Amino acid sequence: MSDNQNSLRAGTRGPTLLEDFLLMEKITHFDHERIPERIVHARGSAAHGYFQAYESLTGVTRAAFLADPKLKTPVFARFSTVAGGSGSVDLPRDVRGFAVKFYTTEGNFDLVGNNIPVFFIQDAIKFPDLIHAVKMEPDRGYPQAASAHDTFWDFISLMPEALHTVMWAMSDRAIPRSLRMMEGFGVHTFRLVNAAGESTFVKFHWRPVIGTSAVLWDEAVKICGADQDYHRRDLYEAIAKGHFPEFELGLQIFDQATADGLEFDALDPTKLVPEEVVPLQMVGKMTLDRNPDNFFAETEQVAFCPSHVVPGIDFSDDPLLQGRLHSYLDTQLSRLGGPNFHQIPINQPKCPFANNQRDGHMQMAVPKGRVNYEPNSLDPAAPRESPERGFQTFAAPVTGAKARVRSESFADHYSQPRMFYRSVTPQERKHMAQALTFELGKVETLAIRQRVLGHLDMIAPELGAAVAKALGMPGEAQVIHPAMAPRDVALSPAVRLYGKYAPTLQGRRVGLLLGPGFDGTKAKELEAELKEAGAMVTRIGLQAGGAGDSDGKRWPVDGALAGTPSVLFEAVAILAGATGDAMLAADPDAVGFAMDAKRHLKVIALDGVDSLADRADLGGVVGVVEVGEFVALAKHGKVWKREK
């Protein structure tokens, strides 16, 4: 290969060409390397629901599911980790997949994205290299579902285009509290096309109605030990209890002139369009209200393909997107056994459909008649093309010589990572430095650590200095000579994880630890107040058989203390009588429950547990309150003032 960095395309910013046999061969081999588990996004959880537009968008797109606000379009959404296998834990530090299949009246539209708006690479030809680098090292078969190892950081240190996504992956975005509290992004620039054939560019966003939330790294580690299925269980139980996850669909719509005026290339998937430049328009809402009936038949067999679009939605010349149009289809052929995977019920369109496809592995339909071709004169009712209703590719002009080349407009790899780092809250910046210290501390090769430190200095000198100091490597960063010097661009507060949503307990999990002799009246009032605020309350007892209140009444509990640590909740309350307080103070699990809640910055309510409070050193701690103050304070999430 004369060039293993760039796909063959028409012009420096044009579409990728099908004749690029090197790209096809490389990706085809990669797509078939694992059978039958997904190569990436193997660990997934999913739910059924519906999408409903707020108003008609016929001015910008002819897509029917966006035209009628009265129409409820069925959807199936799958959330996933990227690097781990199907049996890996739910809470590694990782990008999360956010894929939605719309069963529209015109066929299926698959919006296949992530919880991070940018991606590691600019060209699809590098995807096998990226995943090979982040997966288990091939000679030893570990680590599983982790990027903290030499091969990943070696690749990253040699591919500065990946640095923007790395900053997001090292932020709290990569360890979400719940799949229900996670943003989603289409990543690429797509096109909307209206009935008149007019095109605009679009970026797709999903915003959780109840807001975003994440865990601390120490919480993530302990949750993985306490409940490897934490995210899957949380999604399933929330839907089963009627706490339906809701996500608003937002669009950033902009024309060619706006794209030309950006300080970066709108076709570059390692860049985001700041909401301060192109505002987000909320156009509809997705509600997930039904769990799958069978995990394998639905969650495992669902097949998402970015090439599954409907009239009114089209592609841009983003070179990563262009490669994905081939890759996902090719993967399904391998994983689901052949070309008829669309006949599996979870993949079938819910509208009438017809084609001339016949035979093939796992053909489950029984096509009738002698005609399976077009044009034909033997069967007037046979499927035929429809120039009026069918999909029409937008007639974008294409010029340029065939070449393996990267546009110079893709060359700035540091300005947006710098913007992201400086736009987020101080807590998020600190957590990034801690995450980078942890990850690089696992890297054995000194030269790799030195290269990464050099890149961090380019992004933000204070970040590079903090990580170097924590690693015991001050002054050892390699000097980086970038292809394009970084610029200080306008900050974008919209990229922050914290502080964007109104305080709420809606959909949040709250733990209620009940020790023997607790005040039943206070517990009842607290539960009622929490449920009125929309919280999901879990009762915890010293034993699974229940907990007795001060009146001798036995309260059923949802879990025993030994198996229900405080890391599973966003806020906790501990109530007990004198005898129960003594028992809790003598129980290492109870002391650990309280100490972890303090360490993880949770709001803690105490009633009748003075001895436990002394053992857990809760005296005078900010955010440790009486029961009556608990709900109002817990709505604000973590107590950041407590973090050192």
Mean pLDDT confidence for 175-187: 98
Residue 242 pLDDT? 96
Element containing residue 28 per DSSP (H, E): helix 21-31
Residue 40 pLDDT? 94
509-642 under CATH 3.40.50.2300, yes or no: no
> For residue 5, what pLDDT band results from cuts at 50, 70 and 90?
confident
CB of 246 within 8 A of CB of 289? no
Residue 3 pLDDT? 86
Geometric angle at alpha carbon 272, from 195 and 76, rounded to 5°: 60
* Tens digits of residue pLDDT in 388-403: 889 999 999 999 999 9
- Percent of the chain at pLDDT above 70? 100
Residue 33 pLDDT? 74
pTM (whole model) above 0.85 = yes
* Tens digits of residue pLDDT in 235-280: 999 999 999 999 999 999 999 999 999 999 999 999 999 999 999 9
Residue 644 pLDDT? 76
In the chain, which segments carry CATH 1.20.1370.20? 426-495
Mean pLDDT confidence for 433-443: 98
Residue 35 pLDDT? 57
Mean pLDDT of all residues belonging to the chain: 96
CATH code assigned to 426-495: 1.20.1370.20
| φ and ψ at residue 53, rounded to 5 degrees | -75, 150
Residue 29 pLDDT? 79
Q: Which of 572, 562, 559, 569 shows the shortest CA–CA distance to 606?
A: 572
Give catalytic residue positions: 41, 114
Mean pLDDT confidence for 421-442: 98
Residue 224 pLDDT? 96
In the chain, which segments carry CATH 3.40.50.880? 509-642
> For residue 36, what pLDDT band results from cuts at 50, 70 and 90?
confident
Q: Looking at the structure, give the CATH architecture of the domain made up of residues 8-347.
A: Beta Barrel (2.40)
Q: What is the DSSP letter of 114?
A: E
In the chain, which segments carry CATH 2.40.180.10? 8-347
Asked if pLDDT for residue 32 goes beyond 80, the answer is: no
CA distances from 542 to 192, 261, 519, 561, 618 (A): 57, 63, 16, 5, 20
